[in-house]
């Protein structure tokens, strides 16, 4: 039995959509992959995944009409949404990659890693790492502080306004790897590739 009535995975042409859908199905959450704006607007919950170039993602969202649909669903209808990797980054106000504006749900910029030790800290950041902080987070309920999640990214959120719950990951320096503000959630890691702890994150989202 599904935990929620309707979960729509937003298809804007960038992301491993089917792996997210399969992981949701494994934990009993039925979902549909769609770029139909009406389905986006009528969903009980939304997942915005993504892999690739920030500017191209913005262009695809606008070209398909999903940009306006997401803003209406999330900002006006208050539909809970989970952004994954690039999907989380698109929630920021500005992307350094392509120098374009994001959705602006969080007053932050998306910047490329600025590590000094490029031998030890390869870019993109790829592999397993923890998420510290995130006290009071709804998505991390029941998840141990030592749990590791799978990351693969070259850009990250920079700067917070203090009105949201945040989690941080260390890769030479601390960067924002989790945001939560009301019904809007974003994770820089890939829960669909993070085994049992990733399933717990998705399950928590489904139960909201």
Alpha-carbon distance 134 to 177, whole Å?
Answer: 10
Active site residue 109: no
Q: Is 195 tagged catalytic?
A: no
Respond yes or no: is residue 192 known to be catalytic.
yes
Residue 172 in 3-state DSSP? coil
End-to-end CA distance of the chain: give it in Å, rounded.
Answer: 16
The catalytically annotated residue of 30, 59, 85, 96 is: 85
Other beta carbons less than 10 A from residue 118's beta carbon: 10
SS3 143: coil
Task: Give the three-class secondary structure for 156.
Answer: strand
Distance of CA 71 to the CA centre of its chain: 16
d(CA 196, CA 202): 10
Phi and psi at 181, nearest 5°, equal -145, 105
The residues annotated as belonging to the active site are 85, 190, 192
């Amino acid at each position: 039995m599904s935990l929620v009535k309707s979960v729509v995975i937003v298809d804007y042409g960038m992301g491993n959509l089917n792996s997210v859908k399969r992981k949701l199905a494994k934990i009993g959450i039925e979902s549909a992959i769609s770029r139909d704006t009406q389905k986006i607007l009528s969903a009980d919950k939304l997942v915005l995944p993504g892999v690739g170039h920030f500017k191209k993602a913005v262009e695809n969202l606008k070209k398909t009409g999903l940009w306006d649909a997401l803003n209406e669903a999330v900002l006006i209808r208050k539909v809970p949404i989970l952004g994954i990797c690039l999907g989380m980054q698109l929630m920021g106000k500005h992307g350094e990659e392509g120098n374009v504006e994001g959705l602006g749900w969080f007053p932050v910029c998306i910047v490329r890693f600025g590590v000094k030790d490029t031998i030890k800290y390869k870019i993109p950041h790829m592999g397993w790492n923890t998420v510290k902080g995130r006290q009071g987070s709804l998505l991390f309920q029941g998840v141990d502080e030592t749990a590791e999640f799978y990351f693969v990214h070259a850009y990250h959120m920079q700067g917070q306004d203090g009105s949201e719950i945040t989690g941080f990951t260390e890769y030479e320096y601390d960067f924002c790897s989790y945001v939560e503000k009301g019904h809007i959630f974003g994770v820089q890691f890939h829960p669909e590739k993070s085994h049992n702890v990733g399933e717990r994150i998705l399950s928590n989202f489904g139960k909201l």
